[in-house]
Amino acid sequence: MNNDRQKPPVPEDSIGSIRSVTWHPRYREGVLELFSNVPHKAQLWQWEFESSPFGKAFDPVLLVDREDQVVGFNGVMPIEATAFGEPIDALWSCDFHVVESWRGKGLGSRIKSVLHGKAKEVMAFGISDHASRVLLHLGWKPDLRVRNYRLLRSSRGIREWAFRAIQWLNRSLGLLGPRLSNCTITVRSTLPDQASIDELWEREKSGYSRIVKRSFEYLKWKYQCHPLARYAFVCAWEHQELAALMVVRFHGETLKIVDYAGPASNAALKRALVRRIRDHWRHALQLTVVTSDAQLGQCLRNEGFFSPRTRPRFYIHDSETELTRGWFIMAGDSDGELLGAAADFCKGSTVLNETEVN
């Protein structure tokens, strides 16, 4: 995300005056000015950066000039994450920006160098072409497992008719795939109770090689407490126990599956959730999913989705090892989904009401 704030050219001897400072609320307006092309950024600020569900302080990378004016910024979203159930040191990088008149002078690399010291694993998701080149140059590694999946219910041209033919073929082949019949699925406007979600997380976390902690407090903060957007929660129950859930958002003609909490490996359960979502929102002309989970990807294909060639960019900087693979990623992990949800809401959105289906 870039906003070209014009300033007079910077003399070369001024570079030495740039300094990295610790966060203080007095810099908030200066940072928001960098993102003035995002009108809802100020509305999201407190929630996104300073109300961490994990109780961690906001600690971005911040560069200022000799007048104490903000010239560079890299936001961070601290998280709790696990590797096979054990805690690891990781954080999300977001909202990277250098004032236009200071670009090309090495400040971007300087910001990233400071950022690399804040956690052993730093991640960025949904980045631009330019940012991609910068991160590769600085030693970040791409994870190519993250894929887009779509299901179209209308066709406006030959290309979309071809995609729908692929959907039909995928769904036909999926008739032989795993199915689940002994669960109850509910569609809710609020999360299930805290005990059910936290028990689900504790039961299933060790099955993931790397994942952000999907606790009740995290899911509540990210989706239920989003200051602008509205999400729905599709929950699978087995013997009155929460077996898995998916988070969805509907806007305009598009339904997005943005998150999943549940077993790492249970194709029948994942497919049951996808099928219920597909059938419940019959009025959605397009369904989209972003995930790194190959098993979920196959379940989506079995239910008639297809995977376009384009892929979202997910990059990792690991300061200690080469173990940059294995992250479980969904669209909701990206701050791009949070900003996109806010933008959609500002345009006018459909509110998802609570409904129960068996």
The answer, yes or no, to whether residue 12 has pLDDT greater than 80, is no
Confidence of residue 13 (pLDDT cuts 50, 70, 90): very low
Domains 12-142 and 148-310+328-356 share a fold: yes
> How distant is the alpha carbon of residue 78 from its chain centre?
13
pLDDT of 343 above 60: yes
> Residue 167 — pLDDT band, cuts 50, 70, 90?
low
Element (H, E) at 125: strand 121-125
Average the pLDDT over each of 84-93, 264-273, 300-309, 339-348 and give the range with the smallest value.
Answer: 339-348
Which CATH architecture does the domain made up of 148-310+328-356 adopt? Answer: 3-Layer(aba) Sandwich (3.40)
Burial class of residue 86, CB neighbours in 10 A (0-12, 13-18, 19+)? exposed
Report the distance separating Cα 58 and Cα 93, nearest Å: 12
Most confident segment among 9-18, 33-42, 305-314, 343-352: 305-314
* Residue 354 scores a pLDDT above 70: no
- pLDDT tens sequence across 115-133: 999 999 999 998 888 788 8
pLDDT in tens, 80-121: 999 999 999 999 999 999 998 888 888 988 999 999 999 999
239: left (phi over 0), alpha (psi -120 to 50) or beta: left
3-state secondary structure of 356: strand
- Give the three-state DSSP class for 187: strand
Question: For residue 5, what pLDDT is reported?
Answer: 47
Helix extents (H) in 117-209: 129-137, 158-173, 194-204
CB 334 within 8 A of CB 126: yes
Phi, psi of 330, deg, nearest 5? -130, 170
Q: Is the pLDDT of residue 232 over 80?
A: yes
Residue 73 near residue 97, CB atoms below 8 Å: yes
Q: What is the mean pLDDT of the chain?
A: 86
Tens digits of residue pLDDT in 233-247: 999 999 999 999 999
CA–CA gap between residue 134 and residue 110 (Å, rounded): 12
Token pair listed for 318:
């690991």
Torsion sign (Cα): 270, 276, 278, 281: negative
Rounded Cα distance, 215 and 196, in Å: 10
CA dihedral 28, 33, 37, 39 (to 10 degrees): 40
**What is the pLDDT, as a whole number, of residue 356?**
37
* Domain assignments of the chain as residue spans, ordered by start: 12-142, 148-310+328-356
State residue 68's pLDDT score. Answer: 95
Stretch 278-303: mean pLDDT: 94
Retrieve residue 282's tokens: 């019959």
281, 310 in Cβ contact below 8 A? no
Could you read off the pLDDT of 308-321 as tens digits, one per residue?
888 899 999 986 65
Name the amino acid, one letter, at 229: A
Q: What is the CATH number of domain 12-142?
A: 3.40.630.30
- pLDDT at residue 35 in the model: 87
- The first and second tokens of residue 69, run together, are 């004016």
End-to-end CA distance of the chain: 43
Q: Percentage of the chain with pLDDT > 70? A: 85
Per-residue pLDDT, averaged over 267-272, amounts to: 94
* pLDDT value of position 128: 80
Q: Which pTM does this prediction carry? A: 0.86
Average of pLDDT values for 55-70?
93
